[in-house]
Amino acid sequence: MIIPCIDLMDGKVVQLVQGREKALEGAAPLEMLERFSGFPVIQVIDLDAALGKGENNAIVELLASRARIRAGGGVRTPERAQALIACGAEKVIVGTSAFTKAAVNHELLGSIASAVGAEKILVALDSKGGRIVVKGWTESLDISAEEILAELESYCGGYLCTYVDKEGMLQGTDLDWFRRLRSATSKEITAAGGITTIEEIRELLALDIHAALGMAIYTGRLDLAELRRINQSLNRGAALGHTTGD
């Protein structure tokens, strides 16, 4: 599945490079949602909430009322996760708070899983230089995504894995890293960070990994109509496989 991304900052849709420098602003949130019509799921990240600099709850709720979304940013308590699910989000993304300084935050993840159900949680594994990074990618932990996957399995339905080294740079992603992640878990994986070409997307999809796209579609590097066709062909293939299986 191909998943367009809407990142929110100061009430606007933005794209950042390396999570820090604002590279561009998109159209208004509802206009972007309209442009992404035809895609089954949209990823919505509240960057202000993630950075502890405010929130865009009203916009997240509005988008969730109009489309199937997975929402993240500032999910630090069970109450925040419940609020996102209550406003219509299908899944919540838990990032920084999933970890302590060098380990899994079992207590918090357990409480969030109890509150909303583990199947509705995606744990964000953001990697830079081979290490998990947190707090808006400003702090590095002494653990890798590959090392920690098994320990997280009982708390989530899948993972949002971002290759931060190339995030927003339109220079391609690290397919080998995603292959290693795929071999380490049978749970859902969504890839993000640097995905730039149709060939990369097809390779990820062949690995049964979703592709979350930001900069490449906002700059026009990738064509939305072509991405819709790829998604539709995946849906037809899945339906055919289901019918055959019956």
pTM for the model stands at 0.92
* DSSP letters spanning 116-178: H-GGGEEEEEEEETTEEEETTTTEE-S--HHHHHHHHGGG-SEEEEEEGGGTTS-S---HHHH
In this structure, is residue 99 part of a structural domain?
A: yes
What pLDDT sits at residue 50? 86
In this structure, is residue 140 part of a structural domain?
A: yes
Separation of alpha carbons 234 and 126, rounded Å = 27
- Chain-centroid distance of CA 236 in Å reads 24
In this structure, is residue 15 part of a structural domain?
A: yes
- pLDDT tens by residue, 65-113: 999 999 999 899 999 999 899 889 999 999 989 998 878 999 999 999 9
Q: How many domains does the chain have?
A: 1
Q: Which domain holds residue 109?
A: 2-126+136-245
More confident residue, 237 or 80: 80
Domain CATH code at residue 58? 3.20.20.70
In this structure, is residue 221 part of a structural domain?
A: yes
In this structure, is residue 141 part of a structural domain?
A: yes
Active site residues: 7, 126
In this structure, is residue 131 part of a structural domain?
A: no
Q: Which residue has the tokens 């579609």?
A: 217
Picking from 164, 177, 171, the residue whose alpha carbon sits closest to that of residue 137 is 164
Q: Show the tokens assigned to 17.
A: 């490079």
Side chain identity at residue 232, one-letter code = Q
- pLDDT tens by residue, 163-206: 988 887 788 999 999 999 999 999 999 999 999 999 999 999 99
Residues 6+ apart with CB under 8 A from 136: 19, 20, 50, 51, 96
In this structure, is residue 165 part of a structural domain?
A: yes
